[in-house]
Amino acid sequence: QKEVEQNSGPLSVPEGAIASLNCTYSDRGSQSFFWYRQYSGKSPELIMSIYSNGDKEDGRFTAQLNKASQYVSLLIRDSQPSDSATYLCAVNVNGNKLVFGAGTILRVKS
């Protein structure tokens, strides 16, 4: 079992819709969870971090964490074509480093 799993996609949503990206992880001791956005040919850019169960909102982005289910998600409201990118879920394992999922490709169609 991979440590961090994501659906590779592509996930296609129409402009203005809500995009929902999901991630599961295997290490129950993980305490820190991150979402990165990576445009083609660019480096990963941190867009959200979450440490406690529940929801965390920042602008059009909402991160959701459920440690009991070992599940973290990212919702993007009012999706724009500029949101089209690969979204990487990252989880700390062994307390001291991040493991990244393979990423979900999001395509927002205008």
Partner 1 sequence: DAGVIQSPRHEVTEMGQEVTLRCKPISGHNSLFWYRQTMMRGLELLIYFNNNVPIDDSGMPEDRFSAKMPNASFSTLKIQPSEPRDSAVYFCASSPKGGAGTLYEQYFGPGTRLTVT
Which positions lie near partner 1, rule CB under 8 A?
Answer: 31-32, 34, 36, 42-46, 49, 88, 90, 92, 95-103
Q: Which is nearer to partner 1, 25 or 34 (CB)?
A: 34
Write down the least CB distance from residue 38 to partner 1, Å: 9
- What is the C-alpha separation between 61 and 41, in angstroms, rounded? 23
User: At its nearest, how many Å lie between partner 1 and the CB of residue 77?
Assistant: 22
Tokens 């999001």 sit on residue: 106
Smallest distance, partner 1 to C-beta of residue 49, A: 5
CB 19 within 8 A of CB 63: no
In whole angstroms, give the CA distance from residue 20 to residue 9.
11
